[in-house]
Amino acid sequence: MKGSSVLKQEEPVLEQETTKTVKQQGAPIPTSFWGYVKGFGPGIVVVLTWLGAGDLVDSSVAGANYGYTLMWALAAALLVRFALVNTIAKFQLFNPSKYSIIQAYGRLHPLYPGLLGGGSLLYGYVSAAYCLSGASYALYHLTGLFTPIVWALVNIVLALLITGRSVYKQVELVQKIILAVMTICLVGIAIMAGFQPNEALKGVFLFELPEQQGAFDSLIIVVSLIGAVGGSIANLLYPEWMKQKGYINPEHRKVQKYDLLFATIMMIILNLSVWVIGAEILNPRGLTVNSVEDLGSILGEVLGRSGEIILYLAVWAATFSTFVGGTDGYIRLAFDGFYTSSPKRKAKYEGNFLKDPAYKIIYVVMLVLPIIWVFPGMPGFVQLTVLSNAALIFFLPIISIGLLIIINKKSIYGNRAHNLLDTIIVGVLSIFALWSAYHLAETFIKSLIG
């Protein structure tokens, strides 16, 4: 990683120039169907950052335990995430002072953005660690060559090449390619597994609550899932990529909404495809999985080597896309928070975090140091997932309740404050987030005791 050749990225818009250049720097407003399609980008980037190996394992386990009957819970959680993130995006486009969402949190308390910035680095590093681990083991099982350490180095070099150029454009292009590959792979596996459309439709639209399977009642799983999705710090990534794409004016509202809706639909398709694997392959055989390796070996036995190859290719796509997108997004989110809490440091570096010496250190820590978790003897995927959930607990209510206050303060949101629909959406999610935080904390404590 040599100096500026690796770290050369798009210069962020300086805050003091925003009011002068906002019209010129905004993305073109689409005027045709294909114009809207070409305008899609931030939603794809953020959805593939949200989607990781954990989602693949969780969806397959849910399908194994409940068949198709609880499919509606996943679809509901993802649509709830759409509603929440769409509310955040709308705020960023329409608030009269042109605050970013992080700057809006700063209006509640000066230390709020710094706290979120620190949380984004913590959650981002843990996410990068288990995604690099997942991507490296996926390539190892896919090829049967070398060792996971070698493939970890390959993944890191690829990530450096992608994020070392004009970051957003590179990330968006890579994520679009990965989305196409992953969709083909996962939908292909679902078809090979014997997908039953009628049963899937029943699972999505009948809203059944089956009897308890495993440690938790199905209702608790649904509420906790929605709360964890709704209060995730990852929801704050979308506004960052909106700015990079050029969705910065109220006129971009329509294309932004379609962008996020398309991406959410794609995420539902991907997750439900993996759910089908659990429902059609694991459930009838009474099998369950604890890792991606378990899932791969079972598909190898049932569908042959072709099914195994397709799965590991999909796992690599899911984890590598999160590794690349998350590293860029969480760093941007962190510096937005740090600079909002520390205006003197922001002024010192003219609002450009690329000039800040701390950026290079954080960049290396986030992108390169996760390799230590791939070495033998280090905690595996399951342990890293537990650690990730523990890091999330504290931020669930902080993010959702803070957002509830923001959208109801006229001094921040102007005349759009007190919107009843937005208040209901965020208010209900805040309750779910508190519930989810309680159960995540309970689970984490039990795992420590165990």
pLDDT at 243 over 60: yes
Q: Dihedral of the CA atoms 361, 241, 170, 264 (nearest 10)?
A: 120
Q: How is residue 32 annotated by DSSP?
A: S
Identify the pLDDT of residue 152: 93
Longest dimension (CA), the chain: 64
Angle at the Cα of 434 from the Cα atoms of 428 and 436, rounded to 5 degrees: 100
**What average pLDDT score do residues 141-161 get?**
90
Q: What does the block give as tokens for 6?
A: 């690796």
Query: pLDDT band at residue 150, thresholds of 50, 70 and 90?
Result: very high
CATH superfamily of 3-374: Sodium/glucose cotransporter (1.20.1730.10)
Q: What does the block give as tokens for 316?
A: 């690599």
Domain borders along the chain are: 3-374
pLDDT at 13 over 60: no
Q: Is 433 helix (H, G, I), strand (E, B) or coil?
A: helix
**What average pLDDT score do residues 106-124 get?**
89
Q: Is 234 helix (H, G, I), strand (E, B) or coil?
A: helix
Q: Looking at 108-122, 126-140, 218-232, 428-442, which range is the least confident one? A: 218-232
Query: pLDDT band at residue 381, thresholds of 50, 70 and 90?
Result: low
In terms of pLDDT, which residue wins out, 229 or 361?
361
pLDDT at 204 over 50: yes
pLDDT at 8 over 50: no
Identify the pLDDT of residue 72: 83
**What average pLDDT score do residues 239-260 get?**
90
Q: How is residue 210 annotated by DSSP?
A: P
| pLDDT tens digit sequence for 179-189 | 888 888 888 88
DSSP 153-186: HHHHHHHHHHHTSSHHHHHHHHHHHHHHHHHHHH
